[in-house]
Amino acid sequence: MTRYTSATEDDRAEMLAAIGVESAAELFAQIPEPLRLGRSLAIPDGLSEAEVFERLAALASRNADAESQVCFVGAGMYDHYVPAIVDAITQRSEFLTPYTPYQPEISQGGLQVMFEFQTAMSELTGLPVSNAGLYEGPSSVASAGYLAIGATKRRRFVVSRGVHPHSRETLATYSQGYGAEIVEVGLEGGLTDAAALAAAVDGETAAVFLQSPNFLGAVEDVEALGAAAKQHGALLIVACDPMTLGVLRPPGECGADIALGEGQPLGNRLDFGGPSFGFFCASEEQIRRMPGRIAGETEDVDGRRGFVLALQTREQHIRREKATNNICTAQALNALGAMVHLAWLGRHGFRELGELLVRRTAYARQRLAAVEGVELLHEAPVAREFAVRLDAPVAAVLEHCAERGIAAGYPLGHEYPEYEDGLLVAVTERRTRAQIDDLADAIGGAIAGHHAHGAFVAGTVEPAATRGSFSTDGVQKAPQAGGVA
């Protein structure tokens, strides 16, 4: 008996007798003998709760998180303040431990949350239909591609290079399966090259993919860029950052057929990348092609208002090979976190937060641009993130800042070789003016140091030495390191 099971020896004996077998082994006799493991797994023995906690706390302490470092890294996930009520509500058993609301009579809480969430996302994006959530951002982009093929019967995507590199790569991965060709359109001055985009779109184009603000932080003129899509009957698919939609014009007003994105900034932790949720909103025309769960309002037999999963025939459990998508989750708990965060911010708080981001970002951009050896990578308008060029190796500058407790940003060179010297800097409401000033000083110091000393070597900090208080011994000696085959 482990701590999570309850069957005592007496229980087992009674249960075996009721089944009519001598031992549980007889129940496993249906597994052909050669396929039975016949030994213990090469996994260490179980540990007490206190030991497990210590083991995981030791691992956690070897990570430089946004509590121990001042985090200016964004690139799709942001260190926002998640209000306390989000944790209080999402940790309630009634939200944490049920499954998909297959039985609506006893799932009204979850279904109503979905309905409220759909309303919020629809309102933010300016599109009439929202689903209850997808896995996360980039795979939502790939799902939009699948929808576009179904809607247009065409198989070519025109994708701006301003779309998140993870989204572009995920779209390419999925395209190997459902069969689509991708044409990439470059950036000019931080923004999608409008002439190149217009030239790339034709009658074979299923969809045009834009992102605003784009990966370099620049706010795109979605309406102007989208005209080419409209002209050729292609869908206009716009990835957006929900936290900017209190101030930026919603994609639905700019002609987008689909607006989607990574939901993490709303009520979700960084969690080293997940779980979070993807949101997915569309025009009325696409409602029956939407991926994922959708809650709808109705009444019960006594005329009481209630909610159910609507339009289920789109989904895999009914339509099987003809489903609009294979997804079977709504990331319901993550969407609940978003909904509570949005309610907490409220109509005006959400707008004010957007304004705060724009103003602090403007300050940070100006402050960094004034640093010797830093120049703006582009001058396009930005909302919450911006890109600079550094007159010193980016890795070395990041290392210098990290040693001073600052995660200075996201290096662009890996995914944009043309911006080898580029750094993407993100701002949230947690990043104070003083921290921004520190960042500017640290970057300035790093660049000055680089030029003063020729070149200093990046990567001098050993792994696991991030925090002085941590001793690696506890983990190194742990049985799991050698115990697993």
Partner 1 sequence: MADANYPDDLLYHDQHDWARLEGDDHAVFGITWYAQDSLGEVVFYDGPEAGATIQKDSSYAEVESVKAVSDVIAPMSGEIVEVNDSLQDAPERINEDPYGEGWLVKVKLSSPTEAESLLAAAEYQKLLES
Partner 2 sequence: MSALTETPMQRERAKTIYEKSKPGRRAAVLPDAGVPERPLEELIPAHLLRSEPPRLPEIAEPEIVRHYNRLSRRNFDLDSGLYPLGSCTMKHNPRLNERVAALPGHARLHPAQDPKRAQGALELMWLLQQSLSEICGLPHVSLQPSAGSHGELAGLLLTRAYHADRGEERTRVLAPDTSHGTNPASVTMAGYEVVKVATDERGGVEMDDLRAKIAEDPDQIACLMLTNPNTLGLFDENIAEIASLIHEAGGTLYYDGANLNAVMGQSRPGDMGFDIVHLNLHKSFSQPHGGGGPGAGPIAVSDRIEPFLPRPQVVRRESDNGGGPSFDLEFDRPQSIGRLRGFQGNFGVFVRSYAYILSLGADGLAEASETAVLNANYLKARLAEGRAGERLPVAFERHCMHEFVLSGKSMKKELGLATLDLAKRLLDYGFHPPTVYFPLLVDEALMVEPTETETKESLDAFADAIEQILIEAESDPEIAKQAPYTTPVRRLDEVRATRRPVVRQPLGD
Binding to partner 2, residues 180-209 (CB under 8 A): none
Q: Is 447 in the site for partner 2 (CB under 8 A)?
A: no
Task: Specify which residues 375 forms β-bridges with.
Answer: 389
**Residue 293, CA atoms < 13 Å, CB-side half-sphere:** 27
Instruction: Show Cβ contacts of residue 176 under 8 Å, excluding neighbours closer than 6 positions.
Output: none
* Cβ atoms of residues 261 and 137 within 8 Å: yes
**Near partner 2 by CB under 8 A, which window of 112-120, 189-197, 384-392, 446-454?**
112-120
- Kindly tell me which of 179 and 454 has the beta carbon lying closer to partner 2: 179
| Residue whose entry in the numeric block shows the structure tokens 């800097």 | 425
Q: Is 326 in the site for partner 1 (CB under 8 A)?
A: no
**Residue 396, CA atoms < 13 Å, CB-side half-sphere:** 19
In the set 417, 452, 454, 462, which binds partner 2 (CB under 8 A)?
462
**Near partner 2 by CB under 8 A, which window of 58-66, 198-206, 233-241, 444-452?**
58-66
* Cβ atoms of residues 155 and 235 within 8 Å: no
Residues 357-396 that bind partner 2 (CB under 8 A): 358-360, 362-363, 381-383
Report the distance separating Cα 125 and Cα 233, nearest Å. 21
* Cβ atoms of residues 384 and 357 within 8 Å: yes
- Kindly tell me which of 322 and 467 has the beta carbon lying closer to partner 1: 322
Q: Is 36 in the site for partner 1 (CB under 8 A)?
A: no
Q: Is 302 in the site for partner 2 (CB under 8 A)?
A: yes
Q: Min. distance of Cβ 52 from partner 1 in angstroms?
A: 42
Residues 28-47 that bind partner 2 (CB under 8 A): 28-32, 34-37, 40-47
Report the distance separating Cα 8 and Cα 245, nearest Å. 56
DSSP state, residue 13: H
In the set 182, 204, 275, 448, which binds partner 2 (CB under 8 A)?
275
- Long-range contacts of 41-46, Cβ-Cβ distance < 8 Å, separation of 24 or more: 42/483, 42/484, 42/485, 43/480, 43/483, 43/484, 44/478, 44/479, 44/480, 44/483, 45/479, 46/2
Q: Is 313 in the site for partner 1 (CB under 8 A)?
A: yes
- 460 makes contact, choosing from partner 2, partner 1, none, with CB < 5 to 8 Å by partner type, with none
Query: At 259, is the secondary structure helix, strand, or coil?
Result: strand
Q: Is 96 in the site for partner 1 (CB under 8 A)?
A: no
In the set 36, 322, 347, 451, which binds partner 1 (CB under 8 A)?
322
In the set 17, 59, 318, 461, which binds partner 1 (CB under 8 A)?
318
Radius of gyration of the chain (CA): 26
In the set 285, 326, 379, 451, which binds partner 2 (CB under 8 A)?
326
Tokens representing residue 339 in the block = 């909904």
* Cβ atoms of residues 184 and 161 within 8 Å: yes
User: Rounded to an integer, what is the distance from CA 184 to the centroid of its chain?
Assistant: 23
| Residue whose entry in the numeric block shows the structure tokens 């997808």 | 134
Q: Is 9 in the site for partner 2 (CB under 8 A)?
A: no
Q: Min. distance of Cβ 349 from partner 2 in angstroms?
A: 4
Q: Is 22 in the site for partner 2 (CB under 8 A)?
A: no
Closest CA to 44 of 475, 485, 479: 479
In the set 190, 217, 226, 250, which binds partner 2 (CB under 8 A)?
250
- Kindly tell me which of 176 and 417 has the beta carbon lying closer to partner 2: 176
Could you tell me where the DSSP H helices lie in 370-472?
Answer: 394-403, 433-452
**Near partner 2 by CB under 8 A, which window of 64-72, 190-198, 200-208, 227-235?**
64-72
- 35 makes contact, choosing from partner 1, partner 2, none, with CB < 5 to 8 Å by partner type, with partner 2
Element containing residue 410 per DSSP (H, E): strand 410-411
- Kindly tell me which of 254 and 309 has the beta carbon lying closer to partner 1: 309
Q: Is 288 in the site for partner 1 (CB under 8 A)?
A: yes
Q: Min. distance of Cβ 314 from partner 1 in angstroms?
A: 9
* Cβ atoms of residues 139 and 170 within 8 Å: yes
**Near partner 2 by CB under 8 A, which window of 190-198, 200-208, 307-315, 386-394?**
307-315
- Kindly tell me which of 82 and 198 has the beta carbon lying closer to partner 2: 82
* Cβ atoms of residues 219 and 190 within 8 Å: no
Q: How many residues bind partner 2 (CB under 8 A)?
A: 221
Q: Min. distance of Cβ 327 from partner 1 in angstroms?
A: 17
Q: Is 95 in the site for partner 2 (CB under 8 A)?
A: yes
Task: Specify which residues 240 forms β-bridges with.
Answer: 212
**Near partner 2 by CB under 8 A, which window of 138-146, 199-207, 230-238, 448-456?**
138-146
Residues that bind partner 1 (CB under 8 A): 288, 312-313, 318-319, 322
